[in-house]
Amino acid sequence: MNGVLVVDKPTGITSQVVINAVRKVTGERRVGHCGTLDPLASGVLPIMVGKATKACELLMDHEKTYTASVRLGVTTDTEDVTGQVLTRFDGALPPFERFREVAETFCGEIEQVPPMYSALKRNGQKLVDLARQGVTVERAPRKVTVHSLRAYEQDGELRLDVRCSRGTYIRTLCADIGASLGCGACMQSLRRTSVGRFTLAQSIPLDELRSASPERVEQALLSPEELFVDLPEVALPPFFARLFGNGETILCGKVRSSLPTGLTEGSLFRTHAPDGRFLVGQVAKMDENLYISAKIFF
């Protein structure tokens, strides 16, 4: 099997458990995900199966959307409710309107200090492993982008709907909002509702996947081409298409009329070889000239 399974991950398990389940139901050892979800989090987890695993590195930059609930007045070492409590606020908690007002100031490009309880590495060691040993290291702030943020109340909880860039930690966002309010906060729950163009509507719950028939798994498996439908499509002349399909690098000037405007160094595009194989190409610069080369074959 080759393609993408959009799994609705439940809370309480790691992303690796989902990987193992997909390996079992597909019989395919080449399985990977594009962006892990913590055990506390649920929701969209795109799983690459077979040849689609080649695409993982190209999909890490996709925007993501989340729904989170926030608990005011409590801070923890993990910045969510699973951690050890560090402080409790004794005063009156701010009203919702104040929470909304402060939360919305975090929309746009912001800086975050990555949490110690994260998979980021320092000298080859994951920060989370160091944190569990009681070790804290300095982390430089990183720029991330919150494209949109909506704060609201639902079922007695303070909630955030967030659309953000790669590398944004929602629990850190919750903690930073709490710090700005002066009462502290931590993330109570988190549900990822989309990764790029993959949404909950396309997902299959993990429990359903585990008991699914081979036909149902095939039905849920999306073509690798689905990963790249947002890239510009290039139709090369037959001669150059054969060369490109054989892995040859081609000077852009020779096929300029076939290339869409706006392609620059590093730009990705999609195309097909004469034998029907799907390819992802990239523009590269060598000796001051632009070339196109095949990056991934399917």
Task: Specify whether the CB–CB gap between 273 and 250 falls below 8 A.
Answer: no
Residues in the chain: 298
Tokens of 69: 């609930």
Q: Which domains does the chain have, with CATH numbers?
A: 3-62+197-227 (3.30.2350.10), 70-184 (3.30.2350.10), 238-297 (2.40.10)
Report pLDDT digits (tens) over 163-212: 999 889 999 999 999 999 999 999 999 999 999 889 999 999 999 999 99
- The pTM (predicted TM-score) of the whole model is 0.86
* From 8, 38, 80, 176, the catalytic residue: 38
Determine the Cα–Cα distance for residues 3 and 6; give it in Å rounded to an integer: 10
90 is catalytic: no
Structure-derived torsion over alpha carbons of residues 51, 55, 56, 58, reported in degrees to the nearest 10 = 170
| pLDDT classification of 60: cutoffs 50, 70, 90 | low
Its sign, for the CA torsion 224, 225, 230, 236, is positive
Report pLDDT digits (tens) over 214-256: 889 988 998 888 878 888 999 999 999 999 988 899 999 899 8
Task: Specify whether the CB–CB gap between 233 and 272 falls below 8 A.
Answer: no
